[in-house]
């Protein structure tokens, strides 16, 4: 924004009698921030760093704090009686997957069951049907799906009660305003320009409300695929630059609000071919560490999720030629490289790694290609037997068979990456069922189904 526009905005704010108070945990200051600096009653605008001040619980009257110029961090932690439900503190050192049965997503099972009906070959159909029994994350990519979480948690609870086996439900939190800032395929329902930040908070509140009803069901949540990774490498894209502060404050809101002892959060960390380059590793670790510092604690963050919806190998002796020049040519090498840097930055160095579509390697023309890659097969099955103490579990996060993006050039969500020669075409809109792609994943699965 130009200076004259800023001055006009400042004059407007000063002369306008009605000031909208920022809700608890909302942003109230920082370089480039132009919103209200008045916090809701019971909270104070608290300086975290030059880019971010936040309304934190702790005062009885609405307060205003101008953006401080000092660089001293004064971030505080919420105390009891706030919107969080349990006290904060470093997460326990346990791997959330150990000792738990992973609940099977009925949403994905229904997609798979419908797909199986369209497969004529009985052998392939049987293999396809078996995919519904492999634990796969359920994505909450629009707020309207959140009530389904309550249904799943109730189901998980009744399974737990009847079998005596502890249940773990896997979800992806995915509804940031101006989502997918450096691509188009997964543009979401909320925009920053249209009150998206407040709507996102309501979405998180709704998820938290469901989870708090089932304190004895464990939740593993992957938080916002691609968002923070875009802030490491793609701030030259105006949409990402514009979204950066809202991505950060919204992620912090999610971390603080999903602060219940049955929850384990893994923030998304792109993949080795993105943040694993030498120049990106340290800035990535700093961003993750800074985020928790600003949040005022680790809360229930257990670590990072990598390779979400991507195709990289967990480990390999024969690196794909497209990875040349990057020492993190597998996800394990990426975790090994990032782990110590995370520790230095005060961020928990634990990983879950998506291998759902990584069964076949050397299928991309360039490492940056990600859309419905031709020839992909289902990969290593979910397991805690990872052979690496940094890696909590191999998981299937992207539901195999759901599209990454449309190849229809006339769609507003058409991303040219989905029209490349190593993408499967024609492809439907992101998140919708892609039968031909699913069938290839089944037949090329490695290990075989």
Binding residues: 139, 141, 271, 274, 310, 370, 398, 402
Q: Counting contacts by CB under 6 A, is residue 289 touching ligand BGC?
A: no
* Beta-carbon contacts of residue 111 (< 8 Å; ≥ 6 apart): 399, 401, 402, 433
Which residue in this structure is represented by tokens 């690196």? Answer: 319
The answer to whether 293 and 301 are in contact (CB under 8 A) is no
The answer to whether 175 and 189 are in contact (CB under 8 A) is yes
Strand partners, 43: 57
180 is known as an active-site residue = no
Q: Which of 141, 224, 268, 392 binds ligand BGC (CB under 6 A)?
A: 141
Nearer to ligand BGC, 177 or 348 (CB): 177
Give least dist CB 229 to ligand BGC, A: 14
Binding mask 323-362 for ligand BGC (x = CB under 6 A): ----------------------------------------
Q: Counting contacts by CB under 6 A, is residue 139 touching ligand BGC?
A: yes
Among candidate residues 180, 226, 268, 354, the one labeled active-site is: 226
22 conformational bin, left if phi > 0, alpha if psi -120 to 50, beta if neither: beta
Q: Counting contacts by CB under 6 A, is residue 227 touching ligand BGC?
A: no
Separation CA 436–CA 270 (nearest Å): 26
Residues in the interface with ligand BGC (CB under 6 A) total: 9
DSSP characters for 94-161? S-TTTT-EEPPPHHHHHHHHHHHHT---HHHHHHHHHGGGS--PEEE-SGGGHHHHHHHHHHHHHHHH
Q: Which of 217, 292, 430, 449 binds ligand BGC (CB under 6 A)?
A: 430
The answer to whether 303 and 348 are in contact (CB under 8 A) is yes
Q: Counting contacts by CB under 6 A, is residue 392 touching ligand BGC?
A: no
The residue range among 88-96, 99-107, 127-135, 396-404 that interacts with ligand BGC, by the rule CB under 6 A, is 396-404
Q: Which of 178, 402, 415, 439 binds ligand BGC (CB under 6 A)?
A: 402
Q: Which of 105, 186, 369, 440 binds ligand BGC (CB under 6 A)?
A: 186
Q: Counting contacts by CB under 6 A, is residue 308 touching ligand BGC?
A: no
Q: Which of 136, 143, 150, 142 is nearest to 107 (CA)?
A: 136
Nearer to ligand BGC, 227 or 256 (CB): 227
Nearer to ligand BGC, 172 or 349 (CB): 172
The answer to whether 144 and 205 are in contact (CB under 8 A) is no
DSSP state of 64: B
Give least dist CB 172 to ligand BGC, A: 7
The answer to whether 229 and 275 are in contact (CB under 8 A) is yes
Nearer to ligand BGC, 345 or 372 (CB): 372
User: Hey, which residues are catalytic here?
Assistant: 226, 404
């Amino acid at each position: 924004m130009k200076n004259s526009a800023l001055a006009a905005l400042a004059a407007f704010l000063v002369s306008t009698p009605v000031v909208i108070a920022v809700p608890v945990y909302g942003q109230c200051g920082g370089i480039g921030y132009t919103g209200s600096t008045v916090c809701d009653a019971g909270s104070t605008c608290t300086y975290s760093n030059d880019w971010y001040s936040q309304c934190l619980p702790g005062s009885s009257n609405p307060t205003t704090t101008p953006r401080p110029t000092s660089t001293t961090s004064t971030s505080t932690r919420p105390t009891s009686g706030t919107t969080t439900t349990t006290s904060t503190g470093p997460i326990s050192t346990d791997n959330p997957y150990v000792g738990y049965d992973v609940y099977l997503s009925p949403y994905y099972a229904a997609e798979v069951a419908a797909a199986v009906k369209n497969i004529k070959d009985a052998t392939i159909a049987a293999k396809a049907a078996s995919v519904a029994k492999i634990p796969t994350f359920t994505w909450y990519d629009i707020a309207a799906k959140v009530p389904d979480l309550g249904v799943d948690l109730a189901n998980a609870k009744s399974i737990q009660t009847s079998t005596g086996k502890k249940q773990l439900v896997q979800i992806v939190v995915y509804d940031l305003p101006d989502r997918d800032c450096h691509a188009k395929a997964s543009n979401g329902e909320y925009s920053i320009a249209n009150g998206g930040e407040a709507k996102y908070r309501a979405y998180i509140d709704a998820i938290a409300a469901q989870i708090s009803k089932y304190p004895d069901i464990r939740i593993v949540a992957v938080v916002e695929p691609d968002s923070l990774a875009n802030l490491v490498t793609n701030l030259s894209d105006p949409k990402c630059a514009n979204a950066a502060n809202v991505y950060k404050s919204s992620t912090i809101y999610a971390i603080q609000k999903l602060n219940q002892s049955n929850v384990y959060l893994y923030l998304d960390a792109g993949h080795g071919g993105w943040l694993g380059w030498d120049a990106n590793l340290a800035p990535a670790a700093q961003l993750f560490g800074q985020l928790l510092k600003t949040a005022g604690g680790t809360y229930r963050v257990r670590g990072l999720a990598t390779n979400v919806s991507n195709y990289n190998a967990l480990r390999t002796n024969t690196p794909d030629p497209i990875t040349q020049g990057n020492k993190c040519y597998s996800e394990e090498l990426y975790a090994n490289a990032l782990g110590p840097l995370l520790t230095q930055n005060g961020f928990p160095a634990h990983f879950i790694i998506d291998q759902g579509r990584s069964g076949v390697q050397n299928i991309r023309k360039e490492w940056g290609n990600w859309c419905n890659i031709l020839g992909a097969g289902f990969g290593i099955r979910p397991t805690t037997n990872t052979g690496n103490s940094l890696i909590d579990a191999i998981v299937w996060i992207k539901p195999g068979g759901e599209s990454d993006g449309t190849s229809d050039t006339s769609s507003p969500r058409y991303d040219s990456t989905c029209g490349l020669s190593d993408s499967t075409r024609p492809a439907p809109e992101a998140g919708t069922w892609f039968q031909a792609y699913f069938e290839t994943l089944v037949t090329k699965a490695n290990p075989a189904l």
